Amino acid sequence: MADEIPGLSPWLLHLCTCLDCGDALSVTQCTEVDEGGRTRTGILLCSSCERLWPILAGIPLLVDEPATYLAQYRESVLASLAEVNLASSKALSLIDDTIGSVRADAMRYGDDWTAGEDTAEAHGDTTSDVASDAASDDRGEAKRLYLQLVKCNQEAGVTGTVLSMLGAAQKGLIVEAGPGAGEISRALAERCEQLLLLDFSLRSLLRARTKAHNEEGAKVGAILCDLSQFDMASECADAIVAANVVDIIDEPQSFLRAASRWLKADSPFVMTTPDPSLGEGYDEALCEMLESLEYTIDDVRDDIPWLRRHSSRYSQLYWLQAICASI
């Protein structure tokens, strides 16, 4: 798998900017490359303030304090790299050199549910399996009802709604914030030339990138970041997708303001959320926040099913609001 996924591509580097001063970044140290000579493990340098940012598995770690992040999530980072056969002595050395003398309480990623989703898919836990079970089971009425929900989720759920709101036209660059296990990423990669994944979890980025990667499809890149604090090149995105992310960000307004700078004029920003109230107690809160940031609300759809299926015996159902906005 390591040979299938490219390292840091020039187009992705072009989008990266320093969190401190906003200036351009360049590779100052490269200790591991892919077959095409692209950096897989190394360090980025800001051309102005000279801050350094590590690169792991071709993914820049553009968080406020990379040393603290790696000290907190060291074991999860190493496990995530090992899961996709990208752990190496060079990566371990970079992680420990970056951490240095920094000490922090050990933490784990909060997205371990992605492993359950991948396991369900790997075991063939699909719609056809549910249909077969329902047809052969005398007690299958509940399963038949569930199958209808599975079908509804596939046809009118998150992925279908996002693609519908994006429109059929092929895009240049699509930015996906919070790709989770990568189910939408795979579909988005068929709709664009370049797909950029943004998330705070290295595991999520690695899994989503692997699912979306296709030698004949879109070029797929990823940046590890905190969406509340992250920024990048202005007017670079032909579309932004944020499925079930806005309501769990510490500062959604900061993310939405930054995203308005990334978007090209009249390009779609599609988002879904189970909590459009953002904790304010009324469902118009998200739309009002978008309008206060000078977005135009182009489409709003309610009661979108989101079926998070972990296994044949464990599913979660949410009802979402989907919004398409533009600048």
pLDDT score at 132: 52
**CB–CB of 16/232 below 8 Å?**
yes
pLDDT score at 127: 47
pLDDT score at 3: 45
The mean pLDDT of 215-229, rounded to a whole number, is 93
Q: Which residue has the tokens 């009002």?
A: 288
pLDDT score at 265: 97
Q: With 70 as the cut, is the pLDDT of residue 1 above it?
A: no
Q: With 70 as the cut, is the pLDDT of residue 7 above it?
A: yes
Find the range with the poorest average confidence among 133-137, 317-321, 322-326. 133-137
- Rounded distance between C-alpha atoms, residue 190 and residue 182, angstroms: 13
Burial class (CB in 10 A: 0-12, 13-18, 19+), 308: middle
Beta-carbon neighbour count of residue 305 at 10 Å? 19
Q: Which domains does the chain have, with CATH numbers?
A: 10-99 (no CATH), 119-326 (3.40.50.150)
pTM (two decimals): 0.91
**CB–CB of 82/54 below 8 Å?**
no
Read off the pLDDT of residues 261-302 as tens digits, 9 standing for 90 and up: 999 999 999 999 999 999 999 999 999 999 999 999 999 999
**CB–CB of 310/121 below 8 Å?**
no
Read off the pLDDT of residues 115-170 as tens digits, 9 standing for 90 and up: 555 544 544 445 445 445 545 555 578 888 888 887 887 778 999 999 999 999 99
Q: What percent of the chain has pLDDT over 70?
A: 90
Own/partner long-range contacts of 68-73 (Cβ < 8 Å, ≥24 apart): 68/102, 68/104, 70/95, 70/98, 70/99, 71/99, 71/102, 71/103, 71/104, 72/104, 72/105, 72/106, 72/107, 73/107, 73/108, 73/109, 73/202
**CB–CB of 159/183 below 8 Å?**
yes
pLDDT score at 312: 73
Write down the mean pLDDT value for the chain: 89
The mean pLDDT of 88-110, rounded to a whole number, is 93
pLDDT band at 42 (very low <50, low <70, confident <90, very high): very high
Find the range with the poorest average confidence among 124-133, 213-222, 223-232, 267-276. 124-133
Q: With 80 as the cut, is the pLDDT of residue 56 above it?
A: yes
